[in-house]
Structure 1
Amino acid sequence: MTHTIRNNLAEARQMNEISDMESESIAETVFDNLEIFQGLNSREIRQLLRASEPVSFGAGETLFDEGDPADAMYLVESGELEVRTSSGVDDDVVLAQLGAGSVVGEMSILEGDTKRSASVIALCDVQAFRLTRDAFQKLRVVRNRAAYRLILNLAEILADRRRKSDARLNEVFSDPASHIDEFEAQVHDLLARMHKV
């Protein structure tokens, strides 16, 4: 059902048949289950969406490039994105493919003077909301509760990622022999890419 809502929203937006309020209400339905919005009520999600700007990208367009200033996060309403990073040799490495309900660049609203660690490209038409660090800071200055809940959620998400990374490192280093085949395959892949250059 949510997929149908997203498709209908994208079509209605293209034909300018819905108001900003209707668009916001539908977007709220798409985003209310995001981990980053856990514990936020409907009013708080709407406040964050109002602080954001709706943006559209066509297939092949870049949301941002690796190394660009990190100045905004994107809440993907519909469409698909690909996250890529430079391999340093020839081809880019695809890190992830993300769909509707995804968030990219979330760290940019917290950290100043940082650079993007990867590039994000639209694989098809994408509708999203762009929340800039400046807009988010304005919410923080007025002590907006939604902004602080979002910060707490980001802290929990980052702590969870750190725990998972630490667990994976401990797993690899506690028994390196069991991971040698995987490591060898990665080295062969890297060498093959280097020979293409």
Structure 2
Amino acid sequence: MTTARDLFIIAMDSGQEHAVGQGDLSLALAGAELIDLLGAGGLTLEADVLVPGVAPASDDRLLGEAGARIVRQTPYESVEDWLWRRGTNLAATYQTALEADGELTPKAAGRLSFGARRVEAVDTPARHAAVERWERREPVLTALASVVGIGAEPSDEEPGLDDDAATAVVAAVHDAVMELEAVRQRRTIENAAFANLWRGP
């Protein structure tokens, strides 16, 4: 399993009072893919620019697809550009893939809903592996989950990210999620002002 698949499963299993936003989760999934690609040597990070290396072989279809979408002509793209480009509707893509792989099943009711249909994680070895990684507070998974509001903030007593590239990607995901939230708030204010205009004094 990849970090992105584990993150999606944890998002399904987290029991959050409010569903994780698809936009937020999509950005975090794109970041998770990027960290796995960096770890496999498919990319290096120079400043905030993604420099392609030899495309790593991957048994995971979605991670392989992510590797194939790396910009390989100069000027290379930044981490931020990757997150917004790759992250478009990525949560829905992972939901479809995990359902096809038998990792998710339709759910009659519940608080978490990804897309139009409610789904829940199936009790599979992949889910057990994701939960085990989560319970031992693996730093990358914990950090990405925290960015989208899953679980508590990593404490100072827990091991932090020991890789500069992973740290940079998590920071970029955080900034992108904050930017997305600012856009949501601005639209809410604009919609409220528009409604008040039509409602009149």
TM > 0.5:
no
User: Which has more strand, going by share of residues?
Assistant: 1
Query: RCO higher in 1 or 2 (8 Å CA, sep ≥ 6)?
Result: 2
For the pair shown, the structure with the greater C-alpha radius of gyration is 1
Normalising by structure 2, what TM-score?
0.31
> TM (normalized to structure 1)?
0.31
